[in-house]
């Protein structure tokens, strides 16, 4: 049996072992654990990578989304429009601001937010739109921006899956007033633990994030606002700086692997990859297909040593945490239908053609087995 992992973090760690060890020894020898030079160096480098003015490292992607929203003016009593098919953290961050998520359905081709539905979700309480660049593909930012401009709303990017992705040549992170990134280990740019960042070209928004992440403090022992302890540790910043130099190469490898999947799957009946817009640079944080009988197919793949994922098995309006918002089954039919069919195949920069051929071979067999049952 050939084992194909869903993500192989060990392969990347082996490749960078000496660089990461050097970072560790440097930080350890200086006992420089928080708010030190590694953080500043990484922030400057990642801001430049995103073609933005500023980057503030924070403790997680979830905290990055919350702080990005707060820096854009979102607070208690507000509403934020959020795609219904995304990870819980997108809506969770809205709730942590004291605001309420207002969900919208997705496009059937890409699974990203459907801009044509935005007008119906906007109320007098709406403060911002939170497009998610899902799976590494940018949302339709022109259409979203037009709606936001008409209603005077902030656009805050959830770019937690989109490091290096671009919309019409413009990098994710430079498309809204603020943008949030996650450096969870499995991301395209992952720390060796949790981490995140807020990217912006708005100096006031950047200052707000920097105050909030560090107890409201700009000058030592002077607390201008009630803040949080949401700092990105120096050690993680050093690891991220070392890995950032490889990110474009890794993203290119992901794109090459996605093209191989496209070619291999063309001969497989019953597996439909999600589409990619012609005007974006997709970075394939995930490679997602739709299949009938998904749960059975996934079980058969697992039995043959092929690990897969489901991103995400239930739209947010059907999560128990948001039962109180009053949504129910049938309210977002596209997302609900996709949630029963989507399957994330193994995807990481180091995946080999042999591994992908195994995945597709086993996927075809699993689908055929279901059809014959």
Give the per-residue pLDDT at 2. Answer: 79
Whole-angstrom Cα distance, residue 34 to residue 29? 14
Give the per-residue pLDDT at 105. Answer: 98
Whole-angstrom Cα distance, residue 126 to residue 139? 20
Whole-angstrom Cα distance, residue 120 to residue 102? 10
Structure tokens at 131: 């497009």
Ranges of the chain with pLDDT below 70: 1, 370-373
Q: Do the Cβ atoms of 342 and 294 come closer than 8 Å?
A: yes
Residue 295 vs residues 73, 128, 368: alpha-carbon distances, Å: 41, 36, 14
Q: Do the Cβ atoms of 254 and 281 come closer than 8 Å?
A: no
Most distant CA pair in the chain, distance: 70
Q: Which domains does the chain have, with CATH numbers?
A: 9-104+112-244 (3.40.640.10), 247-372 (3.90.1150.10)
For residue 132, the surrounding DSSP H or E stretch is none
Q: Do the Cβ atoms of 83 and 248 come closer than 8 Å?
A: no
26 by Cβ neighbours in 10 Å (0-12 / 13-18 / 19+) ranks as middle
Burial string for 119-129 (b: 16+ CB within 10 Å, else e) reads eebbeeebbbb
> Does residue 312 have a cis peptide bond before it, meaning omega lies within 30 degrees of 0?
yes
DSSP collapsed to 3 states, 174-228: CCCCEEEEECCCCCCCCCCCCCEEEEECCHHHHHHHHHHHECCEEECCEECCCCC
Give the per-residue pLDDT at 237. Answer: 98
Residue 62 vs residues 18, 93, 180, 198, 295: alpha-carbon distances, Å: 30, 6, 8, 11, 28
Give the per-residue pLDDT at 1. Answer: 65
What pairs with residue 171 in β-bridges?
Answer: 166
Sequence-distant (6+) residues with CB within 8 A of 93 are 62, 63, 65, 66, 69, 180
Burial string for 84-93 (b: 16+ CB within 10 Å, else e) reads bbbbebbbbb
Write the pLDDT tens digit of every residue in 64-92: 999 999 999 999 999 999 999 999 999 99
- What stretches of the chain show up as alpha helix (H) in DSSP? 9-15, 17-30, 37-49, 61-71, 88-96, 118-121, 141-151, 203-213, 234-244, 247-265, 294-303, 333-339, 353-372
- The single-letter DSSP state of residue 231 is B
């Amino acid at each position: 049996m050939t084992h194909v992992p869903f993500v192989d973090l060990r392969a990347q760690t082996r490749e960078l072992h000496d660089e990461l060890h050097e970072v560790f020894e440097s930080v350890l020898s200086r006992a420089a654990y928080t708010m030190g030079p590694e953080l500043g160096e990484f922030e400057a480098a990642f801001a430049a990578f995103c073609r933005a003015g500023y980057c503030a490292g924070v403790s997680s992607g979830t905290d990055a989304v919350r702080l990005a929203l707060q820096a854009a003016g979102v607070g208690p009593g507000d509403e934020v429009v959020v795609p219904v098919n995304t990870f819980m953290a997108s809506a969770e961050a809205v709730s942590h601001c004291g605001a309420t998520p207002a969900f919208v359905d997705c496009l059937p081709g890409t699974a990203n937010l459907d801009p044509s539905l935005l007008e119906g979700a906007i109320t007098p309480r709406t403060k911002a739109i939170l497009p998610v660049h899902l799976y590494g593909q940018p949302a339709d930012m022109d259409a979203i921006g037009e709606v936001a401009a008409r209603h005077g709303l902030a656009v805050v990017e959830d770019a937690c899956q989109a490091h290096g992705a671009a919309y019409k040549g413009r990098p994710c992170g430079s498309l809204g007033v603020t943008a949030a990134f996650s450096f969870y280990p499995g991301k395209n740019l992952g720390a060796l633990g949790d981490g995140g960042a807020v990217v912006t070209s708005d100096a006031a928004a950047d200052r707000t994030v920097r105050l909030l992440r560090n107890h409201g403090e700009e000058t030592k022992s002077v607390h201008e606002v009630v803040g949080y302890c949401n700092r990105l540790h120096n050690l993680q910043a050093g690891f991220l700086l070392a890995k950032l130099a490889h990110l474009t190469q890794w993203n290119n490898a992901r794109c090459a692997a996605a093209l191989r999947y496209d070619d291999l799957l063309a001969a497989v009946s019953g597996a439909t990859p999600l589409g990619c817009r012609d005007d974006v640079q997709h970075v394939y944080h995930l490679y997602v297909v739709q299949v009938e009988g998904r749960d059975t197919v996934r079980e058969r793949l697992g039995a043959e040593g092929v690990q897969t994922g489901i991103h995400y098995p239930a739209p947010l309006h059907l999560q128990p945490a948001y039962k109180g918002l009053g949504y129910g089954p049938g309210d977002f039919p596209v997302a609900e239908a996709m949630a029963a069919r989507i399957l994330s195949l193994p995807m990481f920069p180091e995946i080999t053609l042999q591994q992908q051929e195994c995945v597709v071979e086993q996927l075809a067999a699993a689908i055929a087995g279901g059809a014959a049952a």
